[in-house]
Amino acid sequence: MDSSLEATCFRIPEQVLNSSGQRMPRLGFGMAPYPLVPPQVTKRAILQAIELGYKHFDTAPLYGTEKPLGEATQEAISLRLIKSRDELFITSKLWCSDAHRELVLPALHRSLRNLKLEYLDLYLILWPLSLKPGRNEFTIREEDVLSMDFGSVWAAMEDCRRLGHTKSIGVCNFSTKKLADPLSFAEIPPDVNQVELNPLWNQKKLREFCKSNGILLIGYSPLGASGTMWGSNRVLGCDVLKEIAKAKGKTVPQTKVEVDYYSKNRCLRWAFEQCISILVKSFNAERMKQNLEIFNWSLSDEELRRINYLPKSRGCDGQLFISKLGPFKTIEELWEGEI
């Protein structure tokens, strides 16, 4: 391993999941690279992350990172970076083409084989809709988008937990209303809702709903996902956030690199202070270390006030699932007005 890497001298704070009682690290390592990178690059980044102190890893079959994560976990044990797999919190997800009752358990079994694991810590439904079986790619045809029979799919998710294949279950990209529906009938309520969250899309209504119902929010794209097909530079390019960054500390940062560093860490700290878990995504070792430097300080009341008054707009709008032939014919329908 890289001898220049040093493990963090503190533990990443944890959150107890309400339904399962499991402890989840509140800072996770996102593993949806864009563009895709070779498996060896992914594996090396995971090992570096473990050495630095990351414990929570978020993957999915569609990301192409389950196998490298499984290989990295085994190598981390052999290198004595961790004593056992139990020290890690590993999440994977159910893709839409497998969001049919009879396909949920086989899909989870495939993920476990890819990961070389006996169980997941968290298994999530990736989107609140289904696709025709076999469509295992992001290129989606209008005729393939289907309504999800959420009652039967969620029952299958509950079976996955009862069988011990995953310790916790949850959802991703669910609006307040879509999340309210399963709460009325679920025997095992969702522990988690993973959604886009950053200073320019703060999900205030959804945060309040989840808090009142014992559901933990996990925020992805906390920096706006610049460089991806769904993201932009609107968060890190925000003038208010740059001004806050320049006011940091006893000396004013003079270079763009310094401003970018303080902007990013203030975005991450803001998300952390909203009592949620956040996913960070960088395969750069130095940036991995910087993403951990958000726990021993706080934003001022004035900084929070300025961030909270920023204009809000969604970045990841789910446009690829909008279909004249499917359940959601407009973005407004998909998010039920939360846009």
Active site residue 63: yes
Q: Tell whether the torsion through CA atoms of 179, 310, 303 and 252 is positive or negative.
A: positive
With CA atoms as reference, report the closest residue to 228 among 145, 328, 138.
138
Distance between CA atoms of residues 63 and 32, nearest Å: 5
| 101-115 and 66-78 helices, crossing angle to 10° | 40
Q: Which one of the listed residues 54, 63, 123, 220 is annotated catalytic?
A: 63
Residues acting as catalytic residues: 63
